[in-house]
Structure 1
Amino acid sequence: MAPTERLRAHRSCTTCPYCGVGCGVSVTRQVATSDAGVSVEGDRQHPANRGRLCVKGSALAETLGERGRLLRPRLHGRECDWETAMGYMAEQFSRTIERHGPDSVAFYLSGQLLTEDYYVANKLMKGFIGSGNVDTNSRLCMSSAVAAYKRSLGADAVPCCYEDLEHADLVVLVGSNAAWTHPILFQRMQQAQAKLVVIDPRASATSETADLHLAITPGSDAALFSGLLNYLVQGHHIDRQFVAEHSDGFQQAAAAAAAWGPDRTARTCGLALDELLAFYQLFASTKKTITFYSQGINQSTSGTDKNNAIINCHLATGRIGRPGCGPFSITGQPNAMGGREVGGLANMLAAHMDYRADHIDRVSRFWQASNIARRPGLKAVDLFRAVECGEIKAIWIMATNPAVSMPDAAQVSRALRKCPLVVVSDCVTDTDTARCADLLLPATGWGEKDGTVTNSERRISRQRGFLPPPGEARHDWQIICDLANRLGHGEAFTYRHPADIFREHAALSGFENGGERAFDISALAGLTRRQYEQLTPVQWPVNAANPGGTARLFTDRRFFTGSGRAQFIPVEPRLPRQQRSQGFPLWLNSGRLRDQWHTMTRTARSRRLLDHSELPEIQLGPADAADHAIGDGQLVELRSARGRMRGRAVVNPAQPAGQLFAPIHWSESLAADSRVSALAEPVTDPHSGQPEFKQVAVHLRAVTVHSYLRLVCPAIIAERLQRQLDRLAGLEHWYRVPCDGGFRYELAFSAAPDCRALALELLEGPGDALRWQRLQLPGAERWLVDNGELQLLMFAAPDWRRLPDGSALEQWLQRPLPEKTAQLLRDIAPASPVVCSCMQVSRQQIDAAIEAGAESVEALGEALGCGTGCGSCKPEIAALLRTQQASVA
């Protein structure tokens, strides 16, 4: 930028697009004629995070840009204009509906959509096409919580707020590694200094700081909380007045729990009796208790009952509707709750109304939709079965990647490839689902989208666009309205701005409500566009009785059931449907990593977010590693009755014997055979339709590898390599790491690869301008091809530990190579894993500081900066300290 050029800064407040915490983000965009830069920090005024961001949120600016973006529509693999794309789409949908009826088409949505996008998609399909076939990837993460809240409280209404975490004296985390998955909320828990109990089969970053960790048998949560209810009854710890005056069904629930005495419960849960009773006594004696639960509870074939077993214990003790109390389900996505508000699930209609005759009539009159759907549509697993068997002949998938995230992922890919019409609207070009599409539509992404989201405490916040759409990308609501118009429903979809949609959504929430429905934001129905632009975070209900919003529900002890009383639900604990056997003797659990998000289409764009873990990994304990003769970093394979997955072994002493763990993030576009979901059976909870992901029976084996190859190259050569991968002889596995200027590939071969032949093919006949160097060193072969700048860098070795640090190699993509490249290649050191992504502090640095005398996490923070950013690495730093101190002792 020239010295005389003025730099202008535009600031805007928006929300983070990752987890359900819903953190506020303050964005500064530097605008100049020659450059435009974006920086982000936490919004200090947003009540969800008060200025704090986790490492993913802090790296949001690094995920922007057009690399890998879908910029123009593509029909059958070729770019086209919007008129051609939408004309084709409308013709195919119209013809399919005319020939096969409205239930032959479907929409599959995402918690990445904004509420306004969700609303118009639901309205078009259910109100005007006339089918209930609208479901969402939120089915995979929180639908069991929805079903349980509705059974007990009469509404999908989370009773708690984030402040309750700070008022509580006891927080019980069940099936939640919140230190990694919801780090900002976990920090609020730690700062409040409540007692922490973690209930999780595996040790985690969350359990590192817990006062008590119950490593229960996988899937035994309902038994644990049924036993707790029985303990509360037998010990006279029941709030008799609340039970008598404000609930029904207590005697039936208590009778069902009576079979679960402490001895039986401890055996079933795999716990020592004294640790079980320690938890029960702590719960019974602590009035201000929050139970905070997530996918470990929900992703089960009995997930709804597990939720209700937890809620029963809170109802029995009257711990709901009071500060510091309540059953608190935490969503996984930024707008999972917004999707629930507008009816984004197949078994809901709109505005928290169901497929009841009076609700159908009400919504039909409000929308003026005579063709409204009159029965629920297909839930996610059944929906993709219907695609495969031909019942659904046209599907539109928006902002999600079901070919990776759904159970039995191979079946989903097969189904989509068989479907006559698959439309995918997304902001990225290459996903597993996009590879199955007939028509790709470029949608806007974070930083460009404009609308609202609702977080896990029912707080509605604005997500504001601060960048223009790239290429020809359009907002999702605009694309949906275009299709509605072409299908002949344009008069009901005349929106010109997200504010128009939001006002209608708010008005429907209060339409003929009369206090019957918990969700009511009718006080916002009259917002002007300016007021909408300036809308500050607010918690629903927001109506005439609560114009400023409501933080905590059920303070009046009135519930949204027919009787106005909370309902106890008798629970009969059941084992997971996917049971171990002689052929599949190990349990596989799955979940998120600290620095990654979903299928990595966004987080993999930030190089430093890959420093903590860059590869598909399979964690196993030392006993299982010894039994299977598997070493740390070795390539291994998991097989289930459904499919297979491959990744590198990580021997983790904290992993229980007989139990494995693998992250959910990798897809076939990033690594071979890396989808955890390919292993899971498509079995679901009978009430919610949510699939069982947390207990998958698998077989483990080591994969024989002759040579490992590490390859760094610019993006244009990476594109050629990607096309060659399926044809490389002896290739057993690969994954790739995006980096500045190109990619790094990691490949494993069952026989020695012909490095020169591979290089020649990738470089397409390099001329005299390219210099070739081959170095034969002890235990490794190295190839370098350059023309002053790196073209190709390859290292081959029989053991991956002999390969040099990959991140050190990547830097040469961005700078001219020195003359003495041979010496450079010899001097590159082995890698040391990064522990603190924010401050880029490695394990080697932390170990050295501990040896030099640092005795606490705080001392290491002062010396190295680790843990002083988002703080999510603190549990890992604490574990390193304990290990080192124990070794010295």
Structure 2
Amino acid sequence: MDGSGLPETRSTCAYCGVGCGVLLRPDGRGGLEVRGDPDHPANLGRLCSKGSALGETVGTAHRLSAPRLDGRDTDWDSALSHVAERFRETIDQYGPESVGFYVSGQLLTEDYYVANKLMKGFIGTANIDTNSRLCMASSVAGHKRAFGTDTVPGTYEDLEEADLVVLTGSNLAWCHPVLYQRVLAAKQARPRMRVVVIDPRRTASCDIADMHLPVRPGSDVALFNGLLCALYERGALDAAFLAHVEGFDDALAAASGDDPAETGLSEAQLEAFYALWAGTEKVVTVYSQGVNQSSAGSDKVNAILNCHLASGRIGRPGCGPFSVTGQPNAMGGREVGGLANTLACHLDIENADHRAAVRAFWGAPAISDRPGLKAVDMFRAVETGQIRALWIIHTNPAVSMPDANRVRDAIAGCDFVVVSDITDATDTARLADVLLPAAAWGEKEGTVTNSDRTISRQRAALAPWGQSRPDWAILAEVGRRMGWQQAFDYAGPAEIFREYAALSGVAGGFGRDFDISAHADIADSAYADLAPFRWPATGARQGGRFFGDGRFFTESGRGRMLPVHWRAPVAATGRDFPFRFNTGRIRDQWHTMTRTGLSPRLSAHLAEPFLEIHPEDAAAQGIAPASLVEVSSPQGRAILRAWVTDTVRRGDVFAPMHWTGETAPSARVDALVAPVTDPVSGQPESKAAAVALAPFAARWYGFAVSAGDMHPDCAYWALAPTTTGYRAELAGTNTPADWLAEARRLFGLDETAEAQVASDPAKGGFRVAFHRDGRLEAALFVAPTPVAVMRSHLALLPGKEAWHALSGRSPADQPDPGPMVCSCFNVGVNTILTAIETRGLMSVEEIGAALEAGTNCGSCRPEIAALLAKAKPREAAEQA
């Protein structure tokens, strides 16, 4: 049975802040068919590789199906009574400041609203913070300082209407691929459009860039202060708009004190960028984690905003600063007050009138009168015992927080820890006293807000797995059991949304930006059918841009320019730690891989953790390509695969942040990052740690494939799913006495599995393939250096008749597709290279027409272009 006769459900993607619409149809086997919604304004039918693979991530094998108390399954009544009692006992004994919630941009807005209301209005502390603190708190701080509120001025259409798009600290091609596709399409339609990429690395986004500025890490303020001075010197300011702005003189004076040479760019590069920006009327500056994740993140944001305010390039079509968020509901969390230093609906926690209004609206017994603990400070408070009861919802701080080992140990030592999640297989879930099974994406109802203020419905297309419940229902039930029956007596998410919309009308009465009170009386049926809309949504105003009319939300009603100065990252490089360590995302993975890590095709692109290092640095450190590198900082150490490349500057290294204790325990990169934060936003500096590098002294390397589970026990391992089971990279410092016995232990196979063995003890080589009933069960390849086998081919063999597996190579009649390039259509390197050679393909477009590669989300186009560039010189040399 398939789901072809079932209706499609309109919903939104589970990943980044682009907020793409999706159409979901049950496949009749417990899974989903997923396609882009052509009518959704964010994506118009486009999806990236992650969104396209969503249907592969809704399996239930990894799911938590029942509440768990002290490691044993229990019923909801027992679990929730225990949670309510322990929180109440903790508050009674130690006060409200002794409890904390750490929540997530994976929550829907209705979930977020209930959590914020429970903590700030009824428990009476603001100790609720979110993992969005790690990705966009500096944008919030910068917006509030400049505009008076956390307002994103523009819309996605501005990316298409701009004549210059500046991407700074944003690898749009990999992190927000659908927006990248919109920019690419606009550039193809209007060739005069220019794109500038500002990034220490040469990323995939540079594929469409007219200019790449490889700035020194952390030097954004110096660059944009130089731009402000250049705008002044070139007469490119907007005097009429500046009449609506205060602080210009002080901001310019501060900017004049900075030296743009701190960027590491040449005078020619600086001149070209400044001339282009000053000479282009329609400019959009897109920024993301490369700006935000810094000890000077808020100042970086304000340096960018200063340039747009001074030149009047804001609030008009094709103009403005644009913060793009990393989670599907980071914006919704900001709107409901999910951050420790905010109230719901963009009201201020330190404003007595705002507090009184919210308290009265909620009928709350108390409301916190000061900001709570931000993420880093919250886990410090857990460590010291200030926080004794902690509820973590849909996030994995034991991996994702800076100084992750210390955070993991703090959680482990906390008196009482509750974790709500869809799985128990995370580093954090393993530390919980109580585990609560939450409904997953595809199973729950509510709303999310994307990066351009568009609110969309997320709808359920599957029944909740096992006993899992929506987060709002779990939180509300705990609120009722703590004694606040009426305040949390919700029948469903529509009722919560109505209350939230009504509260936004109170905020609108204070002149705040966030107001969706037009929906305060929405009927359940209308909520069920709610179409995407961009806020504000009041009787007088629907959507649109902000600030083009010169009206802001500050006390004076004028925009603010701030005096900001460049300052270097806090962690200083030196003799002991000479390299600057940058962290970030890769194209096909998401956060700590609890969802994307279930998809074989997403895991096939980059199947293990890696460290990008410049060739000259690698040679100086004695690090060979594809070898393992030990990376150390004052906080911790990691072992990563060396990716020797000139896409990074000398002295800089980069590693992705996705791997965990479940997938590669030695590659938890946030264990290397110091808990240094921006003094205004509290956002950690995740892109500028100081580290040392050394070759990892492995005595052996291995590669393994299996139809079943593996149980690695060695110094380095990285596990990834395949369509036939699992694959793993391995390395060790101790050599097993009996490799055959170790292989059986690794795969959990007894003597009934037939072993096909090739061994060369003198050279340290060993290979074994296990067969049962003529089919390959598993295979292990060991060598004293990184193993040279056809990994992509071998990964497809378990479960098949494959007596050739021991060779590590594919037979002539079974071409090896090679490492994955296009995850959307499962196209490998060798397939592309063969097509270039045999069909004479000469462009990315021709390859797309022949193989489909690069024709969906386009994230792989830069890699395809690189393969073409390598193939053409080889072809020319052969012809010569």
Matched, 1:185 2:171: no
Cα deviation for residue 818 of structure 1 reads 5.5
Task: Name the structure 2 match of 1:340.
Answer: 334
Cα deviation for residue 333 of structure 1 reads 0.5
Pick the aligned partner of 2:517 from 522, 544, 561.
522
Matched, 1:43 2:31: no
Pick the aligned partner of 1:577 from 565, 570, 574.
570
Identity between Structure 1 and Structure 2 (%)? 51
Comparing 524-533 and 868-877, the one that deviates more: 868-877
What secondary structure does 2:601 align onto?
A: helix
Pick the aligned partner of 2:247 from 237, 249, 252.
249
Pick the aligned partner of 2:847 from 852, 860, 865.
860
Task: Name the structure 2 match of 1:653.
Answer: 646
Kindly provide the CA deviation profile for residues 502-527 of structure 1, in whole angstroms up to 9, marking residues without a partner as x.
00000001026336100000001111
Task: Name the structure 1 match of 2:829.
Answer: 843
On the 8 A contact 2:638/2:666 being kept in 1, the answer is: yes
For 1:207-356, list aligned pairs within 5 A.
207-244=206-243, 246-260=244-258, 264-265=259-260, 267-355=261-349, 356=351
Distance 1:764 1:276, change over 3 A: closer
Distance 1:663 1:877, change over 3 A: same
For residue 844 of structure 2, what is the amino acid of its counterpart?
A: V
Matched, 1:124 2:111: no
Cα deviation for residue 813 of structure 1 reads 3.3
Distance 1:480 1:859, change over 3 A: same
The CA RMSD measured in Å over matched residues stands at: 1.9
Cα deviation for residue 774 of structure 1 reads 1.9
Comparing 662-671 and 737-746, the one that deviates more: 737-746
Comparing 550-559 and 414-423, the one that deviates more: 550-559
Task: Name the structure 2 match of 1:728.
Answer: none
Pick the aligned partner of 2:559 from 566, 573, 577.
566
Task: Name the structure 2 match of 1:876.
Answer: 863
Cα deviation for residue 758 of structure 1 reads 1.9
Pick the aligned partner of 1:490 from 454, 478, 485.
485
Task: Name the structure 2 match of 1:402.
Answer: 397
Task: Name the structure 2 match of 1:12.
Answer: 9
Task: Name the structure 1 match of 2:741.
Answer: 757
On the 8 A contact 2:508/2:514 being kept in 1, the answer is: no
Kindly provide the CA deviation profile for residues 574-632 of structure 1, in whole angstroms up to 9, marking residues without a partner as x.
11111101100011111110111110110011100012101010011110111112111
- Structure 2: distance between partners of 1:113 and 1:764: 38
- Structure 1: distance between partners of 2:694 and 2:748: 38
Matched, 1:378 2:373: yes
- Structure 2: distance between partners of 1:762 and 1:232: 63
Cα deviation for residue 880 of structure 1 reads 2.4
For 1:351-362, list aligned pairs within 5 A.
351-355=345-349, 356-362=351-357
- Structure 2: distance between partners of 1:740 and 1:376: 48
- Structure 1: distance between partners of 2:469 and 2:830: 46
Comparing 304-313 and 664-673, the one that deviates more: 664-673
On the 8 A contact 1:334/1:453 being kept in 2, the answer is: yes
- Structure 1: distance between partners of 2:377 and 2:3: 58
Distance 1:712 1:882, change over 3 A: closer
- Structure 2: distance between partners of 1:314 and 1:875: 30
Pick the aligned partner of 1:510 from 501, 505, 528.
505
- Structure 2: distance between partners of 1:315 and 1:36: 52
Matched, 1:28 2:13: no
- Structure 2: distance between partners of 1:639 and 1:37: 42
- Structure 2: distance between partners of 1:77 and 1:825: 45
Task: Name the structure 2 match of 1:739.
Answer: 722
For residue 131 of structure 1, what is the amino acid of its counterpart?
A: T
For residue 388 of structure 1, what is the amino acid of its counterpart?
A: E
- Structure 2: distance between partners of 1:786 and 1:161: 57
- Structure 1: distance between partners of 2:705 and 2:815: 16
- Structure 2: distance between partners of 1:763 and 1:180: 34
Cα deviation for residue 166 of structure 1 reads 0.8
- Structure 2: distance between partners of 1:675 and 1:765: 29
What secondary structure does 2:300 align onto?
A: helix
Pick the aligned partner of 1:806 from 772, 791, 800.
791
Distance 1:678 1:822, change over 3 A: closer
What secondary structure does 2:821 align onto?
A: strand
**Which sections of structure 2, spanning at least 5 residues, go unmatched?**
188-192
Distance 1:438 1:831, change over 3 A: farther
Task: Name the structure 1 match of 2:190.
Answer: none
Cα deviation for residue 37 of structure 1 reads 4.7
For residue 562 of structure 2, what is the amino acid of its counterpart?
A: I
On the 8 A contact 1:135/1:345 being kept in 2, the answer is: yes
Cα deviation for residue 821 of structure 1 reads 6.9
- Structure 2: distance between partners of 1:348 and 1:218: 30
- Structure 2: distance between partners of 1:431 and 1:829: 37
On the 8 A contact 2:3/2:27 being kept in 1, the answer is: no
For residue 884 of structure 1, what is the amino acid of its counterpart?
A: A
- Structure 1: distance between partners of 2:107 and 2:538: 25
Task: Name the structure 2 match of 1:748.
Answer: 731
Kindly provide the CA deviation profile for residues 73-119 of structure 1, in whole angstroms up to 9, marking residues without a partner as x.
12222222212211221121111111000110000000000000000
For residue 744 of structure 1, what is the amino acid of its counterpart?
A: R
Matched, 1:600 2:593: yes
**Which sections of structure 1, spanning at least 5 residues, go unmatched?**
726-730
For 1:425-504, list aligned pairs within 5 A.
425-504=420-499
- Structure 2: distance between partners of 1:697 and 1:850: 42
For 1:599-678, list aligned pairs within 5 A.
599-678=592-671
- Structure 1: distance between partners of 2:740 and 2:3: 52
What secondary structure does 2:553 align onto?
A: coil
Matched, 1:684 2:682: no
What secondary structure does 1:197 align onto?
A: strand
Cα deviation for residue 10 of structure 1 reads 2.1
- Structure 1: distance between partners of 2:590 and 2:70: 29
For 1:362-373, list aligned pairs within 5 A.
362-373=357-368
Matched, 1:91 2:91: no
- Structure 1: distance between partners of 2:403 and 2:816: 38
What secondary structure does 1:646 align onto?
A: strand
On the 8 A contact 1:208/1:879 being kept in 2, the answer is: no
Pick the aligned partner of 2:818 from 818, 832, 857.
832
Kindly provide the CA deviation profile for residues 194-237 of structure 1, in whole angstroms up to 9, marking residues without a partner as x.
20011111111111220011111111100000011011112211
- Structure 2: distance between partners of 1:706 and 1:417: 33
Cα deviation for residue 486 of structure 1 reads 1.0
What secondary structure does 1:160 align onto?
A: coil
Distance 1:94 1:238, change over 3 A: same
- Structure 1: distance between partners of 2:776 and 2:703: 14
- Structure 2: distance between partners of 1:881 and 1:351: 50
What secondary structure does 2:8 align onto?
A: strand
Distance 1:808 1:317, change over 3 A: same
Task: Name the structure 1 match of 2:779.
Answer: 793
Cα deviation for residue 402 of structure 1 reads 0.7
For residue 522 of structure 1, what is the amino acid of its counterpart?
A: S
For residue 327 of structure 1, what is the amino acid of its counterpart?
A: P
- Structure 2: distance between partners of 1:741 and 1:113: 32
For residue 290 of structure 1, what is the amino acid of its counterpart?
A: V
Q: TM-score scaled to structure 2, two decimals?
A: 0.95
Distance 1:77 1:512, change over 3 A: closer
Kindly provide the CA deviation profile for residues 5-49 of structure 1, in whole angstroms up to 9, marking residues without a partner as x.
996312111000100000000112244xxx455211110000000
On the 8 A contact 1:108/1:137 being kept in 2, the answer is: yes
Matched, 1:694 2:687: yes
- Structure 2: distance between partners of 1:608 and 1:319: 42
Distance 1:224 1:538, change over 3 A: same
On the 8 A contact 1:243/1:316 being kept in 2, the answer is: yes
On the 8 A contact 2:810/2:816 being kept in 1, the answer is: no
Distance 1:239 1:490, change over 3 A: same
On the 8 A contact 1:805/1:831 being kept in 2, the answer is: no
